[in-house]
Structure 1
C-alpha cells in the first residue's frame, strides 16, 4: 500500500489532501479545493498519515483524528471512550488519557471519527 497523507495548512486553517512530498527539499504539493496544487514548505503545515483503516461510516482514519470507540475491559464491561489517533513506535494507537489502545486491536465497526486535533 502506498502511504496516503493529508495536511493541516496552518495559515489557512484548512485540511487538504497531499499529492506529493519532497523530503529532500522539504515541501509538499497540496491539493486545493479548486483543483489546483499548491507548493508548501514543511513548516507551513502539519502532516497526518492515513492508518489504512476506515471507521464504521466508511470514513478514512488518519493520525490526529479524534475517535469515539468501544472497548471491553477484563470484566466484560463495555466502555465508550474518546481518544486521539497517534503514530508512535511504528504503529497507530488511540490514546485516551493514560490508556493506549493499538488501533488494529479495536473493531473498526466500533470506531467513529468525530473530528481531529486541529479543527476540534
Structure 2
C-alpha cells in the first residue's frame, strides 16, 4: 500500500510544517510548530492560507522523501540539471520538469538529490530557469 503523507507551506508565515490532521469538510489543517505529531498542542490553518504538498512515494539517493514542489538535481552525463517535482492531473503521475522537458518521476530511478523546494528556497527559481 502506498504511504500517504503531506506537509504544508504556511503562506503568511513562510514556513513549512508537519500536518497532524486534515479536515476536508471545514477545509483546514491541524499542524505542529515543532514537528511533534503526537501532542495536543497544535495550531490550525485554513486551506486558503497554505499550500498542501503530498509525498510522491519516491526517495532521493540519500533516502530523503520527495514531495511536490521539491527541486531535485541530477546529472545527464554532461551537466547538472535542476528539475521541479509536480503532479500531472492528466496522466495521474508525479513528474519532474526541467529545460522544457517533463517526464515521469518514476523514470528517474532515484538517481537524484533534493536540493530544496520552491517555497523555502526561492533562489532555486534561477536554477530552474524561472
Classify the TM-score, shorter chain: 0.7 to 0.9
Q: Is 1:38 matched with 2:48? A: no
- Partners of 2:59 and 2:32 in 1: CA distance: 21
Q: Which runs of 4+ in 1 moved over 2 A?
A: 77-80
- Partners of 1:4 and 1:31 in 2: CA distance: 15
- Consecutive unaligned residues of structure 2, counting only runs of 5 or more, are 122-130
Q: Is 1:61 matched with 2:62? A: no
Classify 1:2/1:24 alpha carbon distance in 2 versus 1 (closer, same or farther; 3 Å).
farther
2:12 corresponding residue in structure 1: 11
- Partners of 2:24 and 2:35 in 1: CA distance: 25
- Partners of 1:47 and 1:21 in 2: CA distance: 10
Q: Deviations over 1:45-73 (max 9, x none)?
A: 111000011111111100000000234xx
1:98 corresponding residue in structure 2: 100
Classify 1:66/1:30 alpha carbon distance in 2 versus 1 (closer, same or farther; 3 Å).
same
Q: Please, what TM-score do these two structures have when normalized by structure 1?
A: 0.86
Preserved contact between residue 74 and residue 112 of structure 2 (Cα < 8 Å): yes
Q: Please, what TM-score do these two structures have when normalized by structure 2?
A: 0.80
Q: CA shift at 1:78, angstroms?
A: 5.2
Q: CA shift at 1:79, angstroms?
A: 4.9
> Aligned pair count?
114
- Consecutive unaligned residues of structure 1, counting only runs of 5 or more, are 72-76
Preserved contact between residue 4 and residue 54 of structure 2 (Cα < 8 Å): yes
